[in-house]
Copies of this chain bind each other. A is one copy, B any other.
Amino acid sequence: MSYESSPYKEKKVISIGTVKDLTGLSVRQIRYYEERNLIFPARTEKGTRKYSFSDVEMLMSIADKREDGVQTHEIRKELKKAQEHIQKEKLRDTMIRGQLNAHFNMIKR
């Protein structure tokens, strides 16, 4: 109950025009939400943006919040909080693993 792990969901392969079709947002809006650090598309060597399905979902969530009058700055804060939460979870997992390993090593020797 923590990780999404479809290999396809995170792959950055969708160009901005397709993202526009998928989300109903304008390319202007899509680029602007990037400027506000809400999404982080990859770039090809030539500089064109590539989005993942995950990015598309995030954009739809942003669109919902914007419709409710939430400002990008607020959305940014929520996002940061969510990311910190994930970091803490990872750290906790790492530490539990460390403890378990320590125990096993004690037993084995």
> Which interface class (under 10, 10 to 19, 20 to 34, 35 or more) fits A?
10 to 19
B interface footprint on A12-53 (CB within 8 Å = 1, 0 otherwise): 011100100110000000000000000000001000001001
Residues of B within 8 A of A104 (CB): none
Task: Determine whether the beta carbon of B11 is less than 8 Å from that of A13.
Answer: no
Give chain B nearest CB distance to A4 CB in angstroms.
Answer: 11
Question: Does A3 reach chain B (CB closer than 8 Å)?
Answer: no
Contact of A9 with B by CB under 8 A:
yes
Chain B residues with CB under 8 A of A8: 6, 8-9, 53
Question: With a CB–CB cut-off of 8 A, which chain B residues contact A14?
Answer: 13-14
16 CB < 8 A contacts A-B: A6-B6, A6-B8, A6-B9, A8-B8, A8-B9, A8-B53, A11-B53, A13-B13, A13-B14, A13-B18, A13-B22, A14-B14, A15-B15, A15-B18, A18-B50, A21-B44
